[in-house]
Amino acid sequence: MRRAFTLVELLVVIAIIAILIGLLLPAVQKVREAANRLTCRNNLKQIGLALHNYHDGNDGFPPGYSVAGTDNLEIGGFGGFVRLLPYLEQEALFRRWDLTRKWYELPNSDLVGTELKVFYCPSNRSRGRIDFAFLEPIAGRPLPDTAATDYLLCKGANAALCENCQIPAGGRGAFDVNTKTRLTDITDGTSTTFAAGDGAGGNPRFGLRQYWPDTTPATGFFPGQKTYIDQSWSQGPAATTELHSLGLKGGGALGITALRGGHPDPFDEPMNRPLQLPAFDMNQGCLNAGTAANTYDTSAGFRSLHPGGCNFLFCDGSVRFLRDGIAPATYRALSTIAGGEILANLD
């Protein structure tokens, strides 16, 4: 006669199955992360191909940020990814964009919410928008929610913001305000100069701090605003006098490796810092020569959900993963186009 399982035997079998699942889960997660990292690399490769096609058609890379007629970048403008749209199979979207209007004005306000798969790193998310409903009562007008991005164009090792870039050679990256960087301008070598990198947004892992030395989270957020960093592929500043929102903390689509590159104390901004800096134009000059709070512009660093580092697109179109323990001087050197640094093989 066949004997049924006893309760003890059943519990033993369940325990063994649970142990096996526990042993397999890390392997499954590791495979999933490897697939996500590969997709992330492919996204950056697509962005790199778009940058080179743009360069071929326009004799230079697009500006990292576009603004006209003012050194006060809180007036308006838009990010460098907008001009890349035709080279990312988004010609129709770009044709509708008005380069003379602000991101929250028609027709652009109807476009900024367009979520594009190429701008999301799957290790972080597959979609996402920045919700501006909290700001509407303060702005006194309706505002569109803007589609986010998990990639940053490399501004270099200096966060200074001006209509005409005046950053020292030791701090300037391939993308800045109103710039048109040619491959021939990258005298440090295109294979050792960042074009873009991971900038995971909308994730509680990366909060915001107010000033560079701070080790505690920022305070004084607008009611209803999220306290972790995010940025859009399209929009210009949300902290503007027109929206009554000066002091609004948020990210931008330009990434930096230090705040004051080209100066004796560069204020390094290492990879994957848990508390990021908001994108702020302090209107205190174009060099970021100051060291006191509110005397230098700020921007966020590169960051990802990939364990141990970030993917970077280099100016030659290659994509490589760099560890977040990289030496600060090497990290800064990789982000600048003409600092004159000599770098050893990174692989």
Give, for 208, the enclosing helix (H) or strand (E).
strand 207-208
Residue 191: burial class (beta carbons within 10 Å; 0-12, 13-18, 19+): middle
Return the residue matching tokens 């209007």: 101
| 87-101 pLDDT, tens digit each | 999 999 999 999 988
d(CA 218, CA 230): 15
What is residue 72's predicted lDDT score, i.e. its pLDDT? 67
Return the pLDDT at 314. Answer: 98
User: Residue 67: which pLDDT band, with cuts at 50, 70 and 90?
Assistant: confident
pTM score over 0.85: yes
What is residue 341's predicted lDDT score, i.e. its pLDDT? 81
pLDDT, average across residues 253-259: 97
Q: What are phi and psi of 89, to 5 degrees?
A: 65, 35
Residue 60: both structure tokens together: 């230079």
Q: How far apart are the C-alpha atoms of 88 and 295, rounded to whole Å?
A: 38
Q: How far apart are CA 306 and CA 238, in angstroms?
A: 29
Has residue 345 got a pLDDT over 70? Answer: no
pLDDT at position 335 is 98
Summarize pLDDT for 295-315 with one digit per residue, the tens. 999 999 999 999 999 999 999
What's the pLDDT score for residue 246?
Answer: 87
Using the predicted structure, report yes or no on whether residue 1 has a pLDDT greater than 90: no
Q: Are 329 and 320 in contact (CB under 8 A)?
A: no
Q: Provide the edge-to-edge strand list for the sheet that holds 309-314.
A: 254-256, 151-156, 194-198, 309-314, 319-323
What's the mean pLDDT in 216-239?
Answer: 93
pLDDT at 2: 55
Contact 41, 205 (CB under 8 A): no
The predicted-structure confidence for 149-203, as pLDDT tens digits, reads as follows: 999 999 999 999 998 999 988 899 999 999 999 999 999 999 999 999 999 999 9
Please indicate whether residue 55 or residue 12 has the higher confidence score (pLDDT).
55
Average pLDDT, the chain: 91
* Chain centre to alpha carbon of residue 51: 16
